[in-house]
Structure 1
């Protein structure tokens, strides 16, 4: 072996040194850049465009050398791109599934010719993505393009999709959203971060050469993520999806609040992920993978090494040996060096032991570093700085390992090392993360559906489940586009409720009083205040109901959090039986509920009876769903087993619509609890009596106390309370434009999953037709009530 003649085979095996590699070449990429004069324009309507008078920003490689310059798009470019995307959508969506599939497959052969240029350009720009991974993406999504009408026949494309990524995202993160959007028949406006911009422009050129209609894929470049918000403001945009770091994701959500535009985020850059080594692991393989993941591979996540106490000394000794010969790692800037030095100093002050491959040199280079003996709550563990730092913490029991793995606010991924398969699966099920890799790490494939758990996002990417963000049920109405209103977010929901003034002193004239339902008990509001429920027309007072507020929401969340883990762990058949019993209880109270509908909404007794009957049927349908949609094994192109597991979100807040107050309530309630969630429901302020009458059904059911909570009051005040409670994972909202804008702005950090629907003052909404048992409607509700976890178990 060249360069190693002085070493014996034994010495090489002792040091586990890698053999020499050829110096990387970037001649092809450099030639492509020179062809464009190292100044890349925009890609609009199937061709490169270089608008005059535009500001440009330089793109540098990891060593600080200028690679090229990219154009900073302006409003005129956004408008032109939007018009192109609309015409591209018409052309692309009018093709048959087979035609769209053939166009995507054609790019596989095109990549075979130009794969070296793509690979070199990605390396130059620091947006590493192998042509092999792109080919796998194209093959997977071209087959879904072929099967869309056969397997997703009741769904339709959303239209113009805006895909935004942050500056530190890879090309793979961008194409993981662009290709499925195209496969489902949408047109795409890609707004890549600066590092992924040149390879994204190259791929757009190759797709156009492969037969993609002009305008189906457009690429806009800019200096920061604010360009994504500018594109979202265009009325032709139908959906925005983001991939990248948390800071830019929150900024995009706040900038698009109030536009009437659905936004999903995948926060895959910078999360803290546990690397758990049990005493039953193959130590040498585990340590080798730790070194690869933490110090050699492109580091999009921060790893925290969790080692069982009984083998911690052995693992540390192996790590010391492995990092001894490693070279220093380049930091992005001198500012990162300051952060790293501060974190190391703080770790030493807190008693951590420092292990480095060499003394830190001056400048932006830093050696691979272990911080052994770290406390799980230390700042450098909870929020590590950028750089080659690996905190090492220890645990005693398996349960403690799970607690430590779930300690991070992020829920992106985890790596588990053990030869005990039962232990591996139990730990995988207990970790609140989207991806679990057993005896491996960083395994990605488009067939794996991955959801962002906790603060790691609101959407699912990959697999069949990742396609639904680019589709909507046929016949459904999207949110109306609107301009954001000028709002004082601190004052929303602070208006006092209208006081109830007694109108008569005659005996027996006082209206009936209802109670709300919190923690399995009917109760008054914490404030003791009530509000009037008026008959249709707003004249006579039908009843009084509690005027709930923030403290009521807090009590409901405490009850829900206490019971939800146990409810989630119940078998699907046990949850189904509880829903069937709820349907029977509803049938037993049929007359009372029909009477409440008549008095509240003014419909005839026959119409009210039909709504109750539909509600009974809907609960039975959700009971049947419980054990029918449970994920399964996935076909990976590698040797091993891949599992897709749907899991409950946790606690879901629901602001109910005015229309069909009983049927809409049981439809949404059934979707949430059938999948293992606990719910806090806010009935329609206009029509709360059917929900309050339903409390009698809940009291006689066998649902655990706290799974369902019903709080009445001002929707705006209760929306504020739900939005600002950190435990609530998702909010489904029917209400005003101001309420939707408030939720989109407030639920950006920490991120919450939002389902927003329009509702005017007359109660007309853009939601589904509740009386229809449309399969896509139920599937849409079910999929919004779960988050997906993928588990990868390799085999020899």
Structure 2
């Protein structure tokens, strides 16, 4: 129409600006809050509970307005909730798989009736989550509840699982842990962040309406992360899993150390992720994608834009065009504004050039979208970015340099790659140390995709079939049990620094320990008693050789392990004699353990090229690949029981998947490991791939725990050692597999190292998962 100010589709297409956002109304959510007098209680045993004389927390919206208040739970509430969850577990786990699936799928129809209330409440509390996303989660895990005994036969639920999330975590991340735990037959205690409490309480109410037994899902609200540690003190809790930011994760791990509960974390808030644009990319699509990722989406991660130098000017020009007309974005608080101003000032002092659509207001919790051009990888605003709409912009020349910049961050959550060259995209995706890679796209998610943060971005896998195993224990075993020991002074006993590698015949210190026979105490041999420097030397050797071992084909690794089996068979008599002399068992029993060790190593060699993973059935047009990858360098502290068989079992798990190993034999029975060194020396395994360090278990555990390169520690030892590792291995995060030897000795048989299900269990502990999303339309 002539003279009309309304823009046509052609005008919008030419300027590529975004249309006006729809105005949100929250009438349905407000009515639900009014029904509860805007004062929400705890959800325990299938109903809302509001105990007297409890403090309350205020929940506010994005503008600072009051939404409602929630109860701050105390010790009595935690005890009542844990007891209810234990009863709920009995009722929920006693149902058949089909009955549990019906409950989860029935919730889908309930969401159809109350979906508007759920969506509005989530948006009101600053945790927007689309209804279609919730439906997809329920349908996916409802079907897994149906198929648990068919596709994951023999694996059993853990019991009561505590799901703790930080205040800035999304509702999707919360449900990505709650739903699989329920689908596998566990009961769940949810400890949400302050702003996630109202949606979590509403969903708990809907779960009960769908037929979930009372106590199978409980919600405890509180003021901070200390509530999660309080929940861990209950003897009914079997496992704690956390999702959110790194700071709260560290506090939770340190607070729960020694409480006897395994803790896993997923760091999905605050990590730095590379957004890589190659010269072969569709520049218009890439620039539009980076603006949407950095400034339009909920800013749970910090993106760093990496552009190939040959298209630098083209990307800059398009950034200026796309950002023109964009308005200031809201910050969470005035404190965030101070941090943003400081980061921008520092960037300008280092020579960065700003791209902004408008001038920043002099004050207030708002700031315009800002691109910081000419950033250096070592700049503080790149390594530790401040909250706010800031996008560091750096350049690279080659693919190798792009990968180096992408891996420079201590985080390893995700990356976005933009190129029309599929070979380049796959090579880059394989080289980046991140859990999720999106090609010509970003922020794609689906519950069938395993999300596994690499490096400092987490210690567990969420989503997909792989994410279910954290809520299950393998056939014939229980979840690694930890003693409940709160004696923090005992940690001091581990901090003294008093180890022999296959390349180091003696320790650097020159000290040694006497190896005595179990009966008369005669000295059988002397083994090196090394120190921290020996550990550093061993890790350095492992780091040099591990990438080459990982890049070998699976069949090549299998051939090396088959040769190791032959070398083991050649030393059969010597190994049996060492077991008999060291452990005080009959020669016949020692020979049986040796024969079983040979068979076990044969099994690992055969398992090398039986790689799991593959194409995922995502409900989108595109190809989603799930790939298992090696962890890197694994520290293993071996148990006293079955000294040869346990060593071969754990060593095979690590080597089969491409890891290097720094191994500490049993301090009580080190002789079989010393004899095994001769087996390693006659094999064709690369020098430094397997390092055997003898000495005092506690001192070596301290050295392994404090080495930043070691990615995982598998530990069999004292209660104090388990507590120390849980408390220490948080910066950087290490994947822990802990078992108390005291618990094993108190049982008749302890851990059964002969069971075949150990292969599956330890294989899953030796890999981390990467998913690669490649859209086709």
Cα deviation 1:720-760 (Å, max 9, x = unaligned): 00000000000000000000000000002211000001112
In the alignment, structure 1 segments of 5+ residues that lack a partner are 498-514
Match in the other structure for 1:717: 699
Cα deviation 1:299-319 (Å, max 9, x = unaligned): 100000000000011111111
Is 1:696 the counterpart of 2:715? The answer is: no
Deviation at 1:6, TM superposition (A): 4.9
Contact 2:481–2:739 (CA under 8 A) maintained in structure 1: no
Contact 1:645–1:788 (CA under 8 A) maintained in structure 2: yes
Question: Aligned match of 2:589 in 590, 602, 607?
Answer: 607
Paired with 1:483 and 1:695, the residues of 2 have a C-alpha distance of: 36
Compute the TM-score of the two structures, normalised by the length of structure 2.
0.98
Match in the other structure for 1:485: 486
Compute the TM-score of the two structures, normalised by the length of structure 1.
0.95
Paired with 1:4 and 1:625, the residues of 2 have a C-alpha distance of: 70
Q: 1:762 to 1:74 in 2, by over 3 A?
A: closer
Is 1:89 the counterpart of 2:89? The answer is: yes
Cα deviation 1:637-691 (Å, max 9, x = unaligned): 0000000000000000000000000000000000001000000000001100000
Match in the other structure for 2:389: 388
Contact 1:634–1:642 (CA under 8 A) maintained in structure 2: yes
1:408-419 alignment runs, 5 A limit:
408-419=409-420
Deviation at 1:488, TM superposition (A): 4.0
Match in the other structure for 2:763: 782
Is 1:772 the counterpart of 2:755? The answer is: yes
Contact 1:644–1:791 (CA under 8 A) maintained in structure 2: yes
Paired with 2:482 and 2:129, the residues of 1 have a C-alpha distance of: 36
Cα deviation 1:120-141 (Å, max 9, x = unaligned): 1111101111111111110010
Q: 1:761 to 1:535 in 2, by over 3 A?
A: farther
Is 1:543 the counterpart of 2:525? The answer is: yes
Q: 1:605 to 1:292 in 2, by over 3 A?
A: same
Match in the other structure for 1:572: 554
Is 1:517 the counterpart of 2:517? The answer is: no
Contact 1:192–1:220 (CA under 8 A) maintained in structure 2: yes
Paired with 1:283 and 1:76, the residues of 2 have a C-alpha distance of: 59
Give me the CA root mean square deviation. 1.6
Cα deviation 1:195-219 (Å, max 9, x = unaligned): 2110010000011000000000000
Paired with 2:744 and 2:51, the residues of 1 have a C-alpha distance of: 48
Match in the other structure for 2:215: 215
Paired with 1:678 and 1:370, the residues of 2 have a C-alpha distance of: 41
Paired with 2:398 and 2:478, the residues of 1 have a C-alpha distance of: 51
Higher alpha-carbon deviation: 157-166 or 480-489: 480-489
Secondary structure of the 2:691 match is strand
Contact 1:758–1:767 (CA under 8 A) maintained in structure 2: no
Cα deviation 1:141-199 (Å, max 9, x = unaligned): 01110010111112110000000000100111110000000000000000011121100
Deviation at 1:778, TM superposition (A): 1.2
1:330-479 alignment runs, 5 A limit:
330-361=330-361, 362-479=363-480
Contact 1:657–1:763 (CA under 8 A) maintained in structure 2: no
Deviation at 1:4, TM superposition (A): 7.2
Contact 1:612–1:662 (CA under 8 A) maintained in structure 2: yes
Match in the other structure for 2:642: 660
Paired with 1:249 and 1:3, the residues of 2 have a C-alpha distance of: 58
Contact 1:492–1:720 (CA under 8 A) maintained in structure 2: no
Secondary structure of the 2:515 match is strand
Paired with 1:646 and 1:696, the residues of 2 have a C-alpha distance of: 31
Match in the other structure for 2:68: 68
Higher alpha-carbon deviation: 188-197 or 11-20: 11-20
Paired with 1:460 and 1:723, the residues of 2 have a C-alpha distance of: 22
- Aligned residue pairs, count: 775
Question: Aligned match of 1:595 in 577, 581, 584?
Answer: 577
Secondary structure of the 1:316 match is helix
Q: 1:185 to 1:250 in 2, by over 3 A?
A: same
Deviation at 1:14, TM superposition (A): 2.6
